[in-house]
Structure 1
């Protein structure tokens, strides 16, 4: 029977050579777990707020799943983290009072997109892996598993992800099969008791890191009735579909395609396309007309090439973890404000079409004008030294009070570059000194 390798010291070079896409390994108490309780709770709060939005709202998300004894409650609200909980411990205490002996599972996908602290530390951790194996094709997936559930609601399954499990609180068990243990034509199995003899397990506790390749069937189990918390990071290595790239290029995420209430998470909603007899009308519905117009616009060579470059820059600056957390609220900058950038994760600047694309932390903005002064401003920020807004803006001309909202890309003027700095601040690519 297969057994899992145990290691005490985590080293990326050794990991890539011995284990990456080869076999599972458990690193015990390494002390390098990038996920902190406070960051996990903050991201879970952000995801919960999105889950409570009306389905038609732009902020609505479907990243949250909650089960009680394998069943899903009709209303999620009472069971999700709240600000008043204050922490994961407070959340657990409230649910214990409400559920008694019943078991529950809180599962949040795309966890990294809901909290900047968690996202930034996770990006820093995996940047060393990307230097060795390259960025993932379609971005890593970060999933929170929290609760005292008996086993994962989906049961035994196979992912298209090679996976890292970071144990945060409590203890849990992962059960593996080197190949599919059943012969029935199903992809998941909840009742897997008949196949336990062919499995092997790894029990993880706080601070442990468990890794397994995408080829292993697996299921998560509780090691006790206590609440356990873990974060899984799945990196796609198989089954990448071309439609993911097509959605990037022609979906509402395109820089020239407006995001409306007719779109949710990059997919167009086209209700009422067919009439009662299942026949298409003579005139395209508004949503399909918009999609056709978007495809037509995106097919222009210069615009398509610029958009592809923007997508790639965003993927690089996001560090393989997309989508990034939403930008912060914009605030005006004075000439006396002191800024600094991040040397470890610099702002990227490249030519796209007739202007320049500036990408940081998975977000982009566009600038027009001569490259030299813009490049010098970005290079200064990337040194991470403190510098005043006035010093950064000094080389740029002042051309009156232009209506910047109507200008896209931003002009390389003093007003345009001030707006650029304000936007980079919302991206958290630069910071105000002392904050």
Structure 2
């Protein structure tokens, strides 16, 4: 069994990087073998941030997003064992569980899937860190998912060590973590010991087991790396197009059961299944899949792949005198024979005005905030052009623009 080198003393994972950079990581470690990298690039997240993300996920009440495991396995209904209003910080929550009679002093593990979607500031910090990595290894083409884990004296068991088609980037935000990684086709096991500030990486295809000797908080990013990993995304895109198409029946359908048979007892393909297959063929033959995948890719590109992104913010009613300033990079993807696509912060929309490119150029280069009137003049249209206003409002909702009313005139 291979073991990582003894880790360096832990440092603040939300502080400045102590020397390692993505360039060296990409050249020496990426997609090669399991490794612990001290201080490769801090995420800007600490235990208090993790606790806030857990509380936000619980408040959102998304089914299956928050799970709690004990020595006996995953709890179906953890209820009051989850962090509540009385748990002001991670230490207080851990101390409460240590006194919990139902746990009898055993260890526990709290996991939250897609935690960053609840906080745009924290999501954007992690997105920016990923974007730096992609400069050296290339943009990941599929959604990158995050899992936040907070635990105390918890050890994964063998039957949870499923192989994954994704590479892993695991930041230790607090405490210590040991990961046993078994790469496929090698027969070798790595024991990777990491402390706060370290990152653990292993390529796709290996199974892993996490061991927390004490309190430990981690954020794991999974980067799909196999060709088959694209199938769920493509299937979801096609399913959405089929449901939105005129050939899809409204409402919930119930297939007949038992299936009707011919007089001689033979069973044929149920008509509903045959109709769905025909609808799929029709959908694939149209322009919808290419456009939908382009929109999805533009959104992912603007998010450095980190998915899902926090939802759009509410719209603002723009006036000609509103002052707009670009607050995030706007990805522009042209579409042959169709409208150009804009994307920012994980959201994509269509840029319909004929002068959209001129608008984007001004937003990118203006040294100050510009008014809607100035943007309209650049686009050679009016300040009340519905298509221009729609473009700017969508950009604002995606947090690509800030918007402020014009300063009131000073009275002497």
Q: Same fold (TM over 0.5)?
A: yes
Query: 2:37 matched to 1:24?
Result: no
The match for 2:223 is 235
Distance 1:24 1:281 in 2: 48
Q: 2:134 corresponds to which residue?
A: 130
Q: Cα–Cα, structure 1 residues 113 and 415, in superposed 2: closer, same or farther, change >3 Å?
A: same
- Match of 1:107? 111
- Higher mean C-alpha deviation, range 132-141 or range 83-92: 83-92
Instruction: Tell me which of 134, 148, 151 is aligned to 1:147.
Output: 151
Distance change (3 Å), C-alpha of 1:347 and 1:73: same
Which residue in the other structure is 1:387 paired with? 370
Name 2:72's counterpart in structure 1. 70
Shift of 1:37: 3.6
Aligned partners of 1:355 and 1:368 also within 8 Å: yes
The secondary structure found in structure 2 opposite 1:326 is coil
Deviation at 1:321, TM superposition (A): 1.5
1:44 shift after superposition: 2.7
1:315 match = 300
Offset at residue 359 of structure 1 (A): 1.6
User: Hey, what's the Cα distance between the residues in 1 that align with 2:182 and 2:269?
Assistant: 52
Residue matched to 1:426: 397
- The whole-number CA distance in structure 1 between the counterparts of 2:282 and 2:271 is 20
Q: Does 1:4 align with 2:4?
A: yes
Cα distance, 1:167 vs structure 2: 0.7
CA distance in 2, matches of 1:3, 1:69: 26
Q: Could you say if the C-alpha distance between residues 351 and 277 of structure 1 is closer, same or farther in structure 2, counting changes exceeding 3 Å? A: closer
Report the Cα distance in structure 1 between the residues aligned to 2:32 and 2:358, rounded to whole angstroms: 45
Query: 2: distance between equivalents of 1:232 and 1:307?
Result: 28
Please say if residues 112 and 321 of structure 1, whose CA atoms lie closer than 8 Å, have aligned partners that are also in contact.
Answer: no
Q: 1:42 offset after TM fit, Å?
A: 3.9
For residue 194 of structure 1, what is the aligned residue in structure 2? none
Query: Residues 397 and 427 from structure 1, CA distance in 2 versus in 1: closer, same or farther, beyond 3 angstroms?
Result: same
Change over 3 Å in CA distance of 1:328–1:84 after alignment to 2:
farther
Kindly report the root-mean-square deviation, in angstroms, between the aligned alpha carbons of the 2 structures.
3.6
> What are the Cα deviations for residues 180-209 of structure 1, in whole angstroms up to 9, with x where unaligned?
899xxxxxxxxxxxxxxx754232222111
Alpha-carbon distance change, 392 to 293 in structure 1, aligned in 2, over 3 angstroms: farther
What's the CA shift string for 1:337-356, capped at 9, x where partnerless? 3332246x334252364423
- 1:428 and 1:37, CA in 2 relative to 1: closer, same or farther beyond 3 A? farther
Establish whether residue 302 from structure 1 lines up as the match of residue 312 from structure 2.
no
Look up the SS of the partner of 1:229 in the other structure.
strand
8 Å CA contact 1:336, 1:388 repeated in 2: yes
Q: 1:423 aligns to what SS in structure 2?
A: helix
Runs of at least 5 residues in structure 2 that lack an aligned partner in the other structure: 9-17, 262-267, 406-412
Tell me whether 1:210 sits opposite 2:220 in the alignment: no
Unmatched 5+ stretches in structure 1: 53-59, 183-197, 263-268, 400-412
Question: What SS does structure 2 have at the residue aligned with 1:171?
Answer: strand
Kept after mapping to 1: 8 A contact 2:352/2:387: no
CA contact (8 A) 1:347 1:378 kept: no
CA distance in structure 2 between the partners assigned to 1:334 and 1:295 by the alignment = 44
Which of 92, 95, 103 is the equivalent residue of 2:94?
Answer: 92
Contact 2:67 2:75 in 1 (8 A): no
Q: Deviations over 1:231-265 (max 9, x none)?
A: 1112122363452253143122x5x8559xx9xxx
Q: 1:108 to 1:359 in 2, by over 3 A?
A: same
Q: Superposition pairs for residues 165-204 of structure 1, below 5 Å? A: 165-178=170-183, 199-204=189-194
Q: CA deviation at 1:163?
A: 1.2
Relative to 1, partners in 2 of residues 1:278 and 1:235: Cα closer, same or farther, differing over 3 Å? farther
Q: Distance in 1 between matches of 2:167 and 2:203?
A: 4
CA–CA distance in 2 between the matches of 1:207 and 1:315?
A: 27
Q: How far 1:415 sits from its partner (Å)?
A: 2.9
Deviation, 1:170, is 1.9
Q: How many Å separate the matches in 2 of 1:234 and 1:244?
A: 15
Instruction: Tell me what 1:57 maps to.
Output: none
What secondary structure sits across from 2:237 in the alignment?
helix
Q: SS of the residue aligned with 1:144? A: strand
Q: CA deviation at 1:151?
A: 1.0
Which structure has the greater CA radius of gyration? Answer: 2
Work out whether 1:351 is the aligned partner of 2:335: yes
Inter-partner Cα distance in structure 2 for 1:86 and 1:330: 33
* Superposition TM-score, scaled by structure 2 size: 0.77
- Distance in 2 separating the partners of 1:77 and 1:423: 39
- Number of residue pairs aligned between Structure 1 and Structure 2: 380
